[in-house]
């Protein structure tokens, strides 16, 4: 399979000397990358806010309406069976909408990344992915794993979401293998599907390439690297590597 590798290098601080045209272009690129990183941070914060609003406000209000319908149904005399039947139908619809809102909130912000760690968050997301798409998933993970730093754990989870979202919509895959490997120095997340594959050079120049850019920038912000391997008819492999040591060498 063809391979396109996006790596991230750590930039040195700029000196006080006048910038050449080449240095000025490099500075502009770095400024754009910093801006992209800030946008991703704002995006995550907005997702978290929307998730809270959906779960704490909209879902609770739907639940209150459902309880009111239940109370009304019990208060009716036995004779108006048609009204009682319609109330039960409305109650079922409210319950369905409530479930959808809860799932939407879950997809916007996965609190288990913070509460239970990366593996639990990934396992829950993968279970939901299987139910929604029918694609089988094999999840390989470390047996024992100390909690990863929250930034790295969240980054890997978002990358998994982006990749599996693409698999569910575009890949036409029947199976996916997700592997999480962790050492003291780095964490590596690998996602391989058996789908239709893609022409990476072509995808990068289309709107769909924004997902690749988002993944790349998330990793770059943590001095990580992402590798894509794919070709038409041969499935796709995405590998994200993040260093875990926070101190500079």
pLDDT value, residue 11: 42
Give the three-class secondary structure for 137.
strand
- Asked if the model's pLDDT at residue 155 lies above 60, the reply is yes
Helix (H) or strand (E) holding 31: helix 21-53
- Asked if the model's pLDDT at residue 142 lies above 70, the reply is yes
pLDDT, tens only, 93-138: 888 777 777 766 666 655 568 877 899 989 988 998 998 899 999 9
**CA distance linking residue 178 with residue 122, whole number of Å:** 10
Q: Regarding predicted confidence, which is higher, 24 or 144?
A: 144
pLDDT value, residue 186: 94
Say whether domain 112-243 belongs to CATH 3.30.565.10.
Answer: yes
The three-state (H, E, C) secondary structure of 52-119, written as one string: HHHHHHHHHHHHHHHHHHHHHHHHCCCCCHHHHHHHHHHHHHHHHHHHHHHHHHHHHCCCHHHHCCHH
Q: Name the most confidently modeled range: 3-7, 42-46, 192-196, 221-225.
A: 192-196
Phi, psi of 145 (to 5 degrees): -140, 120
pLDDT value, residue 90: 81
Indicate the burial class of 42 (C-beta count within 10 angstroms; 0-12, 13-18, 19 or more).
exposed
Please tell me the total number of residues recorded for the chain in this structure.
249
Mean pLDDT, residues 188-216 taken together: 85
């Amino acid at each position: 399979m063809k391979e396109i590798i996006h790596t991230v290098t750590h930039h040195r601080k700029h000196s006080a000397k006048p910038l050449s045209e080449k240095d000025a272009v490099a500075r502009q690129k770095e400024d754009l990358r910093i801006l992209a990183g800030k946008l991703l941070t704002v995006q995550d914060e907005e997702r978290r806010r929307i998730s809270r609003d959906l779960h704490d406000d909209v879902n609770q209000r739907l639940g209150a309406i459902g309880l009111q319908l239940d109370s009304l149904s019990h208060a009716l005399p036995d004779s108006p069976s048609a009204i009682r039947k319609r109330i039960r139908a409305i109650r079922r619809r409210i319950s369905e909408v409530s479930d959808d809102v809860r799932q939407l909130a879950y997809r916007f912000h996965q609190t288990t990344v913070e509460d239970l760690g990366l593996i639990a968050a990934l396992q829950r997301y993968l279970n939901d992915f299987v139910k929604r798409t029918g694609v089988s998933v094999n999840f390989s993970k470390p047996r024992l794993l100390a909690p990863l730093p929250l930034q790295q754990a969240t980054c890997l989870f978002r990358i998994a979401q982006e990749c599996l979202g693409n698999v569910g919509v575009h890949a036409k895959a029947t199976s996916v293998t997700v592997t999480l490997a962790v050492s003291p120095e780095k964490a590596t997340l690998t996602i391989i599907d058996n789908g239709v594959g893609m022409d990476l050079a072509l995808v990068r120049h289309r709107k769909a390439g924004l997902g690749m850019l988002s993944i790349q920038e998330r990793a770059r912000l943590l001095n990580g690297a992402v590798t894509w391997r794919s070709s038409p008819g041969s499935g796709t492999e995405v590998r994200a590597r993040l260093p875990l040591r926070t101190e500079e060498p």
